[in-house]
Amino acid sequence: MRAAVIHAPRDIRIETVPDPELREPTDALVKVTHACICGSDLWAYQGVAARTAGQRIGHEFTAVVVETGSEVTTLKPGDPVVAPFVWSDGTCVYCMENLQTSCVNGGFWGEPGSDGGQGQFVRVPYADGTLVKLPSGLDDDTMVKILALSDVMCTGHHAAVTSGVRKGSTVAVVGDGAVGLCGVLAAKRLGAERIISLGRHEARTAIARRFGATDVVPERGQDAVDAVRDMTNGEGAHAVIEAVGTEQSMRTAISIARDGGAVGFVGVPHSGSRGVDIRQMFNRNVALTGGVAPARAYLPELLSDVLAGRLDPSPVFDMRVGLDGVPQGYAAMDERTALKVLVLP
């Protein structure tokens, strides 16, 4: 089959690789129908996150089941499915608690020895636990909406849930990437009254407004803090979604949280803890929550909203490529000419 392979920073190629096969009786083999490129893939692309030359890449996909192992009971060939960005056995103590990202048998697509989402086929470990079955016959538009539930929409939702967004909350969202935008959408869905989007890229903040942002703050650093405090009676936001992962974004997020509030951080942290202003957290009782989102836990609920026409995160996709176009897709996201690239293998 053909799949995206990362050889070195900024060197992603589409290559012919061995066809995946069932290895365990709990595996399923699936044919990818829709995949995409994630902001966190860019960390690998840019060389900030280390990868072994030859690793696969991509962790968001919808697919059709091709073959199932003998112990797979909930899926059969032909079933359309969506995969969360980690696999999980669905039975361990953490899966039982809906923290599938801590599954004792879990793993990430693209880690050495596993397939990535940006390819034609994927061997799915623990298929019963991992995959969420979809209705048959969904149109392409709906599949694209569902694809966003693989990661970014569930991740934005996780930040909103863990930071305590509720009806009437004032929410600030640091970052106008796909996760930040989905955080806006999640906050709106949870009943936030005021949603302040911190971002300066106009095409993106336009989506933020479409998703429910009531205010946009293009400033950064102390200017951004001042702007948010000015518009919240000096208090800051009850809940802050940190969707970037840099020292500055974390510092800003903590600084714009209201006393007694929380920052839900879902931007993969690449600057250590330098932006974590612990003294401010202590003095003002600002909690730091979030982490890698257990998308599998949120998928049924969010899927139900998508299928009912109540939720549409698909505007985050603004470029569409075939598998051969994946390297161009990375370049476009790296250059910020694309927000999020849809891949049709």
For the chain, the C-alpha Rg in angstroms (whole number) is 20
CB 9 within 8 A of CB 47: yes
284 binds a copy of itself (CB under 8 A): yes
Distance (Å, rounded) from C-alpha 200 to C-alpha 216? 8
Residues 106-135 that bind a copy of itself (CB under 8 A): none
| Least separation in angstroms between CB 311 and a copy of itself | 23
Shortest approach of a copy of itself to residue 301 CB, angstroms? Answer: 18
Using the contact rule CB under 8 A, the part of the chain among 186-194, 283-291, 326-334, 337-345 near a copy of itself is 283-291
Site track 88-107 with a copy of itself (rule: CB under 8 A), x = hit:
-----xx--x-x-xx-----
Q: Binding of a copy of itself at residue 276 (CB under 8 A)?
A: yes
What minimum distance in Å lies between the beta carbon of 242 and a copy of itself?
11
Cα-Cα-Cα-Cα torsion 266, 56, 318, 124, nearest 10 degrees, comes to -80
Closest CA to 238 of 275, 282, 187: 187
Q: Is 167 in the site for a copy of itself (CB under 8 A)?
A: no
How many residues make contact with a copy of itself (CB under 8 A)? 35
**Cβ within 8 Å of residue 44, ≥6 positions away:** 6, 9, 51, 57
Q: Which residues, at least 6 apart from 174, have a Cβ–Cβ distance to it below 8 Å?
A: 180, 198, 240, 241, 242, 243, 244, 249, 252, 253, 256
Q: How far is the CB of 282 from a copy of itself (least distance, A)?
A: 5
How far apart are alpha carbons 97 and 296 in whole angstroms?
Answer: 11
Q: Which lies closer to a copy of itself via its Cβ, residue 219 or residue 277?
A: 277
- Which residues sit at the interface with a copy of itself, rule CB under 8 A? 93-94, 97, 99, 101-102, 162, 235, 250, 259-260, 262, 265, 268-269, 272-274, 276-279, 281-292, 294
